[in-house]
Structure 1
Amino acid sequence: MNPLARHYTRFRVAERLLLTGHSHQAWPDVAREGVLEAFEDAAREVDGKWGRALAKAERVREGFRALLADPGGELALGGSTHELVLRFLSALDLRRRRRLVTTDGEFHTLRRQLARLGEDWLEVEVLPARPVDTLAERLAARAGDRTAAVLVSAVLYEDARIVPGLGGLAEACAARGVELLVDAYHALGAMPFALPAVGLGSAWIVGGGYKYLQLGEGNCFLRLPPHARGLRPAVTGWYAEFDALADAPRPDLVPYGRGAAAFAGSTYDPTSHYRAARVMDYFGAQGLTPEALRASYRRQVDLLAARFDALGLDDALVGRDRSTPLDRFGAFLALDTPRAAALQRALVARGVLADSRGRHLRLGPAPYLDDAQLEAAIERLGEAARELRSEP
C-alpha cells in the first residue's frame, strides 16, 4: 500500500480504484478536522467567529502564493473561478476595448460565459487550441489595440497538454495594454508553476484547489498583477468596502479597498477555508511540494501509458497520442475514443472511477495510489474495451 494512503481512511483510497485525480481527488483525513473546527468556532464564538475565519482565509492565500512563488501577491478568494472571472471581466474597460480573445480548449467556466457574452455584448474571438505548440504565438498575434483581454489555460483540461510560450504571450499583451488571464487549475499541484520562472508576473492567474491540491469545493483564487491595484470591478460585493471604511466618504463614488480587496465578494461559508488550511499544512508536513508532485505524476502517467500500450488495443476503438512526449502533458492520461462515455460507464461497473469529455477518456492518478492499483485499472480498461469491441 502507498504509505500516503493511511492518511485517507475516510475516502478509502487503498480499497478503491480512484482514477479521478484530475477532477476530484480524495481529501486527507485532516480535512474532516478542519470542518469540525469550523463548526466548533461558530458554536463557541457565534458571530465572533469571523476573526478566526479570516485568519484561515489568509492561510489559504499564503498557500496559493507559495505555489505561485509570488510571496507578495495580491490574491482575491472566491467560491468558484466563475465568480472571480466575472469580477475580472467587469474591471476591464469594455466600452473602449470590446474584444476578448480565447481558445476552444477552455474549461466550461470560460467557454460558456464568453460564448454568452459574444452573443449580445462583446466581440469574442475563439482560436483553435491545437496545435498547442503555436497557441501562445497565435493568441499574441490577435491581441490588438481593440482587445481588452486574452484568456487561456496553462494546461488544457481535455487532454492535459501543457501550453508552451505563455511568458512570450504575457510580454506581447503587456506591450499592447492587453490583460492576460491564465487559468492555472490543471497546473497547480500537478507541476511547478512559479510565476517568475514561467514569465507570468504581469498576468492575472485564476485557479483553485478542487483538483490536485485536495482542498475540496469553495477554494478558488484570482491573482492580480501589480499594475491592477487601482481597478474597480463593476461586479462587486460588500466585502470590497472593508478596507475603505477609514477613507473619507465620497457620496458620488462607490468605495473600494486596495489591491485584491477590491475584488472581494460577500458573506460566504468559511468552512472551505478551515478545510483547506488543514490540507495545506498536511501537504507541507508530507513534503508534497510541486516538484515532488510533478515527479510522482510523471511516473504514474508513464506507468499508465506503458500498461495501456501493452494492451494492444485497436486505436480506432481507443488510442492515445504517441507523437507527443509524455513530459509535455500534465497530470493525467487522456485516451482518444469515440466510445469514451461507454468506456467510462463500463469502468465504473468494474469498480474504476474515471471520467470522459467528448472523445477523451481521462485517467487521473493521485499521489496516494500505488502501482498495483494503476495496473489493475488498466487491466479492467482492457476488459471493458474488448467487451465493447465484441458488441454487434
Structure 2
Amino acid sequence: MPERLQAIRGMHDVLPEQAPIWQHLEDHARAVIEGYGYREMRTPLLEPVELFKRSIGEVTDIVEKEMYAFEDRGGDRLALRPEGTASCVRAAIEHGLLDQPQRIWYRGPMFRRERPQRGRYRQFHQIGVEVFGLAGPDIDLEVIAMTGRLWRALGLADLRLEVNSLGDADERARYRGDLVAHLRAHEPALDDDSRRRLSTNPLRVLDSKNPDLAPVIAAAPSLLDYLGEASRAHFDALCAGLDAAGIGYSINPRLVRGLDYYNRTVFEWITDALGAQGTVCAGGRYDGLVAQLGGRDTPAVGFALGTERLLDLIDTSAIATGPDAYLVALGDAAAAAAPALAERLRDAVPGLKLLMHCGGGSFKSQFKKADRSGARLALILGDEEAAAGTVSCKPLRGGGEQRTLGFDEAVALLREARAAR
C-alpha cells in the first residue's frame, strides 16, 4: 500500500461542513468593509524576499525565523507572503494607484513557520484594509469604527479596544534610547528573547508575554511622554473621535506592533476567550512604508484581522450549513422531470441552494439523504406530481405538515426559506 499523505503540520483543510462558517464571516466582512466604500485587491501569494526584508525588517522574528523563503529554479529569491500590507503597497506603487487616495481591502492566506497552536498556524488567513493618501486622525477613526461595526454584525460583544501612539521616527528614536537604558539596567531579569531584542527591536520587549518581565515592563518609560506637539494632537483627536462615536477603548502605553513600519496610531482588538492568542485584529498608521518601498511619501493606515481566531469566537449554532431544499424524485417519469424542475426553481429563486438527489434508490433511502443533508425542506416529486405540474413540500426542520403545491406556491415557499437563513 502507498504511504498515506497528510496535510503539512500547521496547515489545515476547510471541510465542506466548515466552509459555510467561513463564508458567513467573509460575507459579513465584505458587506461591512465595502459599505465604507472600500474596493478589493488581490495580490500574489509569492513575492520577492526583498519586499518583506525592506518592509518588515531584516532583524524581526518574521524574516529571521518564520518566513518561508526559497530560491526558485531561475535563481530568484522568493517568499510566501507572511502578511498582506507590504504586498498591497508594492501593488499600489507598481500600478500607479497612489495619484489619489485609495481605500482597499484584501483577504487570503498568509504563511509563517511558527510552532502550531490554537490561533497560530503556519498557513493562516487574514482580512485586511489599507488606506493610502490620507494623513488625519479621521481616517484612523474610520478604520477602527469599521472593525467595531463588523463585531456587531457578527454578534461579538466581548472584544476590547486598546490604542496607543508610537509617535514619529525622531520621537521614537529618543524613546528607544531611554528604553534600552532602562532594560539594560534590568538585564539580569530579562529572558533570552528580550536580550536579543535589545540590539534589534527593543520596543518588542514591551510586547513580551513572559509574566516574569511584567515588573520591568511596568517600570519602563512611556512612549506617550515623548510625543511632540503634532503627534500628541493627532492622538488626542483620535481619542476624542472615539469618545464622540461611543466606541469604548483604553490607552495602553505598552502597546507596540511587531512590524517595523508602524508610526503614530496603533490599535488592537483583544479577547480573553482564546488564551495567549488574544489579539484578533491589529493595525495602525505606517506613513513611511510607501517611500521605503520605492514610492513617494504617502500617508497610510490599515489593519488585519485573523480569520481563524474570529471563527473561534463566532456562535455557529444559527449558521445554516445545509441546502435550502433537497429534491427527491420517485418513479421514472418523476426522475426524468426532476432536472428541469430544479432548473426552473433555481431560475425563479435567486441564490437558492437546491440539492437534487441523483443515483436513484427507494423513497426511504432518498429521504434519509435529504434529512442528512441539513436541508430545511424536502421537495418530493412523484409521477403524479410530475404529470400535474405540482410538487410536495415537507419541512425537515422546525415541524410543519407536508403540502402539495403548484409551481408558483413552491417558489413562494422557497423564497421564505431563503429569507429565513
TM-score, length-scaled by structure 2 = 0.22
Q: Which of structures 1 and 2 has the bigger CA Rg?
A: 2
Higher relative contact order (CA 8 A, sep 6+): 1
